[in-house]
């Protein structure tokens, strides 16, 4: 049973030695002298807008998927996590994050397809060939970075613009591209073992001293898109929509109801039935991606439990 009124929409913990708190679209981040505590709430965003209703268990799902994939890829690049004291919490290193997100796409889907459909043949300085249709595979994955906007929409940016503007030094940017391709390859291999295709995803990186770290989440349904591999070829041949594992179904519902995050557009009302459906879809995502049954946390006194577990861990 989905408990609609016990989702985590906001946190307001008062920790000793807390320096500052930052509220992202989904995560509440508490900063201490040499570490940060990331609480993954049940907020949901689309088109860079936080939607009014929170989705039960979504934060737990994202946190646990990210933990698995960060541990699975630490031989490629070190990551920021140190401990997971609670199903919704990660404690880790406070890295100075790069001001760009490394988006990598194996297929013409989502934002890239919307651009292509409108006549665009270049994205982030990368050419896309004529004659492609939605969900077609690129001959090799393309990297399409975005800026990291504190407010509003992230913007597409090219490799040359990143380097020439000084956002990231060329030597370091080359490393970020290398890590991005290796992480995507690892994620693709894993997805294949679960009858899935890793379609596209994004990675965020940071630094401590001269060392680069992988930060935030990876390969979750919020940061990535998956197709079912066993029906991919058949559906493409029939020009039908792909069966997806991502939050694209939320974006599609918003678009159908006249919302794409543009000025003047009103966010459609998400009733209890829709909230329950989205929660169930996130659980389905978890179980398909991880290959295990999802164990729901105890939601009684959930915020008290989270605060207590953090206090013990720090």
Which pLDDT belongs to residue 202? 97
What is the dihedral angle through the alpha carbons of 246, 188, 144, 285, rounded to the nearest 10 degrees? 10
Phi first, then psi, for residue 46 (nearest 5°) are -155, 140
What Rg, from alpha-carbon coordinates, does the chain have? 19
Which pLDDT belongs to residue 293? 97
Class of domain 4-95+273-313: alpha beta
Average of per-residue pLDDT across 81-85: 97
Q: What is the CATH number of domain 97-245?
A: 3.30.470.20
Strands, DSSP E only, in the chain? 20-23, 27-31, 35-40, 45-46, 49-50, 81-86, 89-93, 96-97, 100-107, 122-123, 126-127, 137-143, 146-147, 196-208, 211-215, 224-228, 244-245
* pLDDT at residue 74 greater than cutoff 80: yes
pLDDT tens for each residue of 265-284: 999 999 999 999 999 999 99
* pLDDT at residue 56 greater than cutoff 60: yes
CATH 3.30.470.20 residue ranges of the chain are: 97-245
* pLDDT at residue 152 greater than cutoff 70: no
pLDDT tens for each residue of 193-204: 999 999 999 999
* pLDDT at residue 4 greater than cutoff 90: no
Asked if 105 and 141 touch (Cβ cutoff 8 Å), the reply is yes
Asked if 90 and 10 touch (Cβ cutoff 8 Å), the reply is no
Which pLDDT belongs to residue 292? 95
pLDDT tens for each residue of 92-109: 999 999 999 999 999 999
Model confidence, pTM: 0.89
Asked if 90 and 84 touch (Cβ cutoff 8 Å), the reply is yes
Query: Which letter, b or e, does each residue of 293-303 get, where b requires 16 or more Cβ atoms within 10 Å of its Cβ?
Result: eeeeeebeebb
CATH 3.30.200.20 residue ranges of the chain are: 4-95+273-313
Which pLDDT belongs to residue 272? 95
Asked if 125 and 161 touch (Cβ cutoff 8 Å), the reply is yes
């Amino acid at each position: 049973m989905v408990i609609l009124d016990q989702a985590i929409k906001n946190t307001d913990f008062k920790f000793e030695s807390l320096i500052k708190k930052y509220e992202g679209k989904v995560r509440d981040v508490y900063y201490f002298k040499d570490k940060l505590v990331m609480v993954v709430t049940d907020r949901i965003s689309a088109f860079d807008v936080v939607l009014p209703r929170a989705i039960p268990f979504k934060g737990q799902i994202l946190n646990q998927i990210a933990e698995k994939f960060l541990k699975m890829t630490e031989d490629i690049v070190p990551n920021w996590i140190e401990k997971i004291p609670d199903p919704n919490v990660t404690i880790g290193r406070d890295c100075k994050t790069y001001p760009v997100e490394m988006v990598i796409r194996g297929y013409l889907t989502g934002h890239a397809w919307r651009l292509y459909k409108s006549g665009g043949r270049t994205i982030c300085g990368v050419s896309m060939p004529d004659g492609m249709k939605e969900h077609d595979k690129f001959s090799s994955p393309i990297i399409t970075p975005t800026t990291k906007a504190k407010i509003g929409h992230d913007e597409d940016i090219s490799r040359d613009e990143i380097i020439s503007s000084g956002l990231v030094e060329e030597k370091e940017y080359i490393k970020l591209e290398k890590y991005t391709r290796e992480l995507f390859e690892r994620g693709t291999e894993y997805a294949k073992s679960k009858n899935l295709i890793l379609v596209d995803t994004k990675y965020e990186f940071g630094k401590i001293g001269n060392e680069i770290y992988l930060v935030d989440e990876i390969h979750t349904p919020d940061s990535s898109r998956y197709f079912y591999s066993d029906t991919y070829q058949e559906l493409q041949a029939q020009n039908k929509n792909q069966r997806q594992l991502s939050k694209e179904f939320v974006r599609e519902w918003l678009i159908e109801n006249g919302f794409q995050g543009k000025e003047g557009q009103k966010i459609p009302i998400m009733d209890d039935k829709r909230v329950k459906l989205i929660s169930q879809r996130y659980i389905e995502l978890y179980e398909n991606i991880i290959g295990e049954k999802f164990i729901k946390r105890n939601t009684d006194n959930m915020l008290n439990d989270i605060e207590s577990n953090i206090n013990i861990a720090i």
